A and B are shown apart, each in its own frame.
Chain A
């Protein structure tokens, strides 16, 4: 392995490992404060998640939504933009899926209905994502501010529509969809019985592969990453930066919106006010821990899904809110260790290279560490 590759790998993997260590210590302390034995609680967490098919099914269900929101944030960050709006885009996507499911006549062929609903979810999420995209591209409005504000606007708007126009009396959810229900995995694999994991997971897996292919194997994906790394250089190279920004935020919103299908069509069969419940914000954590790589995002989504399902599993011994604290600590630990690890890894690589050049053979250093702007930072000047 070349030094550069090794350094890149270390830079990607070390921060989550540091975070894991910090979380284990912090978790131990919290559990001890509550007067329980850490070992027993951790075992309970693992048993309740990966220890049985129901637990695995629930983790996979939660990871499906988190993969969407995490991937959404990651795609935008690859273009150098920070999408804090995944929460609203997720809700809008779920609402779009429900509307389409309600509009289609009963008895629409399932495959057709699901495809239409998935498309509606992506379109609604994409439309919400396009607003900060347009404002950024056209007026230079900072996408961080706009996406934060859009969350509140979209959630208030959806709350109004549900509360005033489209709810089953005494509830805050829509009537059940007439078509487009995504079957649960439990229908085919009996072991998953009772868990919410459904075939949306396959759609999302395809999207992950599609996004990876798009980012790393297509011209448009290359341009998107180029804009994220060096907008001025990309512009000089003939890429329209503003159009790329708009496209990246719309795509990001569409991916987040897709996540709504998992809950609306795969789990409940209707849109419910507030279903996003923080999964959009957690997407920021997923993208961060997954280092903005589609594969990393999937692993990070599984990790955060395990924590959140694990909270329910340990609730008998310690308050499930422990995992919310731990999720916050994971993000802080990863965010704080990324720059530090990068500095140390580059220093070590520099030392190694200095060693090689000093050798009598005078071997050429294999590769210069690329001066790479931090892909996690979204605040442009």
Chain B
């Protein structure tokens, strides 16, 4: 029974990572740096609460969350792909912008600087009943995100094009792949996916709170890198990071390891991975290079 609870809690923590990491893997495989997952998630969380608040429907919340993610991703895509803005700078700016605009709109819509009123959700947030988790459709969607992405990336024409424009855009262009269009789709897809992660968070907590994503977008990015830009490995990394967090929460009372050290695990593992101590982690060849 304890194992079941552990698994349930791990999955609950992992779902936002899985969504956002799927988005990160998709965009990065197409050659676009994904520093803005955090901003997309935050936008998604806010959109979801707005949608759910005004319609009292969790599903419309999901739609609104995805729309918010698409808007932010659209800004990112236009800046980097149309205007050739530096992707890293743009990513940082989107994150700042998302924090600012959600705070502003929170003030405007709910006259609060900290949180929204309570909204509807899908239920299943009570981990006490592990089976209740199964009633939340976003959990299932989150768990299938990575396998689905792996199928798309490795088994479809679109996926082949994504990999081509991420590795060798010139070669892709020379055989008629519309490089920029593929990248637009990838960035918008990453915005929608990361926003689903934020949507899940907000509906799970039944409210939006200021900066509620709290670095989860960066953990998702860490998972993508640690998973060597492979959807399945990135998904496993998400589960691993979530498992470590669950363990830490379970052990909190025992005070065995300070929580801060557990929180560092994803970041330390990622640095170890990119430093190539155990097998070099190699990014897509054209990552970050859309200005030529």
- A residues apposed to B, CB below 8 Å: 30, 33-34, 82, 84, 135, 139-142, 144-146, 148-150, 152-153, 156-157, 159-160, 163-164, 278, 281-282, 284-285, 288, 319, 321-329, 331-332, 335-340, 374, 376-379, 381
Contacts and interface: CB of A to CB of B under 8 A. Distances in A.
Contact of B264 (A152, A281, A322, A332): A152
Interface stretch (B86-94, B137-145, B155-163, B198-206): B86-94
B104 interface: yes
B47 to A, nearest CB: 16
Interface stretch (B9-17, B18-26, B51-59, B265-273): B265-273
Contacts of A336: 78-79, 83, 85, 90
B75 interface: yes
Contacts of A149: 222, 267-268, 270-271
B83 A339 contact: yes
B90 A332 contact: yes
A379 B287 contact: yes
Nearest to A379: B288
A381 B79 contact: no
Secondary structure dominating the interface of A? helix
A141 B89 contact: no
A379 B275 contact: no
B141 to A, nearest CB: 28
Interface string B63-89: 000000000000100110001111111
Nearest to A35: B108
Interface residues of B, number: 52
Contacts of B222: 149
Contact of A84 (B79, B88, B99): B88
A336 B76 CA distance: 10
Contact of B88 (A144, A285, A324): A144
Contacts of A377: 86, 88, 288, 291
10 contacts: A145-B270, A146-B275, A149-B268, A157-B260, A160-B258, A284-B92, A285-B93, A319-B104, A325-B104, A331-B93
Interface in B104-128: 104, 107-108, 113
A324 B89 contact: no
Nearest to A288: B89
Contacts of B277: 139
A150 B271 contact: yes
Given A149-B267, A153-B267, 10 more contacts: A30-B104, A149-B268, A156-B263, A157-B260, A281-B96, A321-B103, A325-B100, A339-B83, A377-B86, A378-B86
B88 A153 contact: no
Contact of A321 (B87, B90, B104, B225): B104
B218 interface: yes
A321 B288 contact: no
Contacts of A140: 276
Contacts of A337: 83
Given A148-B218, A321-B100, A335-B79, A153 B33 contact: no
B291 A374 contact: yes
Interface centre among A141, A278, A327, A376 (most CB of B within 10 A): A141
B101 interface: yes
Secondary structure dominating the interface of B? helix
Contact of B33 (A150, A156, A376, A379): A379
Given A152-B215, A331-B89, A376-B89, A324 B291 contact: no
A53 B223 CA distance: 49
A164 B259 CA distance: 11
B32 to A, nearest CB: 11
Contacts of B289: 379, 381
B236 interface: no
A374 B86 contact: yes
A335 B101 CA distance: 19
B99 to A, nearest CB: 6
Given A84-B88, A319-B107, A325-B104, A335 B93 contact: yes
A339 B80 CA distance: 10
Contacts of A156: 260-261, 263-264
Contacts of A378: 86, 88
Nearest to A287: B89
A144 B33 CA distance: 10
Contacts of B95: 281
B244 interface: no
B98 to A, nearest CB: 8
A145 B288 CA distance: 12
A292 B221 CA distance: 27
Given A324-B96, A331-B92, A335-B85, A160 B287 contact: no
Contacts of B225: 145
Interface centre among A149, A159, A288, A376 (most CB of B within 10 A): A149
Contacts of B221: 148
Contact of B86 (A164, A278, A282, A335): A335
Contacts of A146: 271, 274-275
A5 B99 CA distance: 39
A321 B288 CA distance: 30
B187 to A, nearest CB: 14
B50 interface: no
